[in-house]
Amino acid sequence: MRKRIMIFFVVALTGLFFLTVGVLTAADLPTKPKKEELIEHNNAYKTKKGKMKDKKGPVKLTHEKHNKEYKVACTECHHEYKKEGKKNINTWKEGDPTKKCEECHFLDAKKAKKKKVKSLNLAYHKNCKDCHKKIKKENKGKKKEDQKKTGPIKKCKKCHQKKKKK
């Protein structure tokens, strides 16, 4: 009989534990952006031999500037998609809890492929560079004074900082 009561308590306590953790993590997600973002994923590059290596230094994103000065909407970068037929509808909006890109775009390219999402590095490069490229394209044929500034596209160093010597 005592054993049964013990088991009951263990089960109930475990349940309670997971319940609190679940509630905490949802409430803990940030909703307000930082002024700047230092994006760094260590050992995110896979060599031909299959070893994970750190190839490039961290990337600084001028988060606030992109939004306020360059007029880039939050939803250009943040999304949570709901499938409607073949369309992806973005249900994330400003002020919502914000997940990290890596929570959905897996670093492991194989896992990403299986889950049908872009792998993490691809997602970053596509998001950042595609927009900068788009601006460059729109500048074509325009007079110099009418051209808009673009962000970096090809020059790695304009985004990736120098690696720290270890």
Contacts to ligand HEC by CB under 6 A: 30-34, 37, 39-41, 44-45, 54-56, 58-59, 61-63, 65-67, 70, 72, 74, 76-81, 88, 94, 98-105, 117-118, 121, 123-129, 131-132, 135, 149-154, 156, 158-160
Nearer to ligand HEC, 19 or 125 (CB): 125
What's the rounded Cα separation, in Å, for the pair 123 and 120?
A: 5
104-133 burial, b if ≥16 CB within 10 A, otherwise e?
bbbbeeeebeeeeebbbbebbeebbbebbe
Q: Closest separation between CB of residue 155 and ligand HEC, Å? A: 6
Q: Closest separation between CB of residue 22 and ligand HEC, Å? A: 17
Nearer to ligand HEC, 20 or 163 (CB): 163
Give yes or no for a contact between 63 and 36, defined as CB atoms under 8 angstroms apart: yes
Nearer to ligand HEC, 2 or 86 (CB): 86
Q: Closest separation between CB of residue 19 and ligand HEC, Å? A: 22
Nearer to ligand HEC, 11 or 156 (CB): 156
Which among 8, 7, 69, 11 has a CA at the least distance from the CA of 36?
A: 69
Is residue 37 classed as helix, strand or coil in its secondary structure?
Answer: strand
What's the rounded Cα separation, in Å, for the pair 62 and 30?
A: 17
Which amino acid type is present at position 123? A
Nearer to ligand HEC, 12 or 134 (CB): 134
Q: Closest separation between CB of residue 136 and ligand HEC, Å? A: 10
